[in-house]
Amino acid sequence: MSPDVIVIGAGAIGTSIAFQLAKAGLKVMVFERGRVGGEATGASAGMIQLNPDRGTPPAYAALSTESARLFSALAAELLERTGIDIGYRRAPLLHVTLDEAEEARLRGHRAWQLDHGMTVGWLDGAAALDLEPALNPAVRAALLYQDHYQVLPRALAQALARAATDLGAVVREGAAVDRLLTQGDRVIGVALGSETIRSAETVAANGAWASAWAEALHTPIPVRPVRGQMVGLSTTATPLRHAISSSSGYILTKADGSTIVGTTVEEVGFDARPTTAGVAGLLALAPRLAPRLADATVSGAWAGLRPGTPDGLPLLGRPPGWGGIVVAAGHFREGILLTPITAELVLDLLARRRPRLALDVFDPGRFRIRAA
Ligand SMILES: Cc1cc2nc3c(=O)[nH]c(=O)nc-3n(C[C@H](O)[C@H](O)[C@H](O)COP(=O)(O)OP(=O)(O)OC[C@H]3O[C@@H](n4cnc5c(N)ncnc54)[C@H](O)[C@@H]3O)c2cc1C
């Protein structure tokens, strides 16, 4: 039987959409070229952080705030439905600086955030060390974000896929969609090799690969891969009490006990392999932020391709002039944070309800308008 909705891609975004649609009673079929959560999602640090600045569009700030709010209930629901703990934990963040010029910039950033209703503390070096004794004693100052959280991103995607499957969705791994099937101005399904599957709606949630549909839809979908490398460390030392970030990267202890160090931001096309230079930079960063990590052992290195867009905002909505398709891609560096709200908004669109948040700035047609 034909599904009501086909979802292309089973990262955090696609699985979250599949879960919400299945919960709403729709027949959903998900096609994933590799494994559930096997690309950007599985590579991610899984931080659920709000860190707007003066350049953040208000609609994006509203989107992230609402998504962060939805996480706690989602984590509890997934645990109850699937028994999978997605590692949703409070992970207070210390954003540190060892540099005088950077200290002045952080003061300005904090003033702006306080003016915009955020709770962010200021610590001098001694106070920061008191709070997180693992820090480099040369720390000059730190911003403290008490209300930041984290998840285990691969577990998040796996739990969402399981919950969707339990509700009747079909998730096919190792199944690459080659083409969209179109009829007039509608997408009517997808093709995988010689196999065709029809559906009333298709959701393109294939992350960094979403530009593949631009030609069929005669619409620019300028989502590009932006590589991020990560290193995993094992240590018997006391876990870090905080996630620690700096202008050069971050370290944090995950709910499974691992410590991860990230990350790079590289425009190297569809190449998700870690490199000597990338890994060396991260290995140097870890003991600079927390000297005791010099004794940690290296447990792994990996990389993922973030779905970047020209304006840094996701594409969420129907491509101009098309029915039967919704694009939900381009979540760049915050796709884990944006997982819950993206699915709720896609459900609103497919149910032809007014979306609960304004979507104009995320309109997938905005690049065509600019080009014209
Ligand atoms: C190193 C790193 C650290 C990060 N840290 C954070 C963080 O701390 N917090 C945060 O919020 N975000 C973070 N991100 C960003 C976040 O990981 C991404 O924004 C998010 O995972 C995007 O999810 P997605 O489902 O759109 O993409 P993906 O997880 O890449 O999923 C897309 C899926 O589509 C599949 N696919 C592609 N083409 C096809 C096709 N033709 N047919 C079938 N399937 C297809 C792929 O195989 C893939 O599994 C980080 C990213 C990286 C790389």
Nearest CA to ligand 1 atom 19: 335
Best CA proximity match to 209, nearest among 33, 21, 6? 33
Q: How far is CA 109 from CA 73, 127, 178, 223, in A?
A: 31, 19, 45, 29
Structure confidence at residue 237 (pLDDT): 82
Residues 85/129, Cβ–Cβ less than 8 Å: no
Atom of ligand 1 nearest to the CA of 212: 41
Structure confidence at residue 337 (pLDDT): 98
User: Which of 266, 268, 336, 337 gets mutated to test ligand 1 (max ligand atoms within 8 A of its CB)?
Assistant: 336
Residue ranges and CATH numbers for the domains of the chain are: 5-84+152-223+310-371 (3.50.50.60), 91-148+225-308 (3.30.9.10)
Nearest CA to ligand 1 atom 15: 333
Best CA proximity match to 281, nearest among 228, 225, 238? 228
Best CA proximity match to 185, nearest among 222, 219, 220? 219
Atom of ligand 1 nearest to the CA of 331: 19
User: Which of 30, 265, 333 gets mutated to test ligand 1 (max ligand atoms within 8 A of its CB)?
Assistant: 333
Nearest CA to ligand 1 atom 26: 207
Neighbour tally for 163: CB within 10 Å? 24
Per-residue model confidence as pLDDT tens digits over 276-300: 999 999 999 999 999 999 999 999 9
- CB-based contacts of 213, cutoff 8 Å, min separation 6: 180, 204, 221, 325, 327
Q: Ligand 1 center to residue 360 CA distance, Å? A: 23
Q: Ligand 1 center to residue 283 CA distance, Å? A: 24
pTM of the model: 0.97
Q: Ligand 1 center to residue 331 CA distance, Å? A: 8
Instruction: Enumerate the H helices of the chain as residue ranges.
Output: 12-23, 40-43, 58-82, 100-115, 125-131, 153-166, 214-217, 276-289, 339-350, 366-371
Task: List, for the chain, all residue ranges whose pLDDT scores fall below the cut of 50.
Answer: 371-372
Nearest CA to ligand 1 atom 50: 44
Structure confidence at residue 370 (pLDDT): 54
Per-residue model confidence as pLDDT tens digits over 146-177: 999 999 999 999 999 999 999 999 999 999 99
Best CA proximity match to 220, nearest among 332, 367, 326, 8? 367
**Distance, CA of 11 to CA of 1 (rounded, Å):** 25
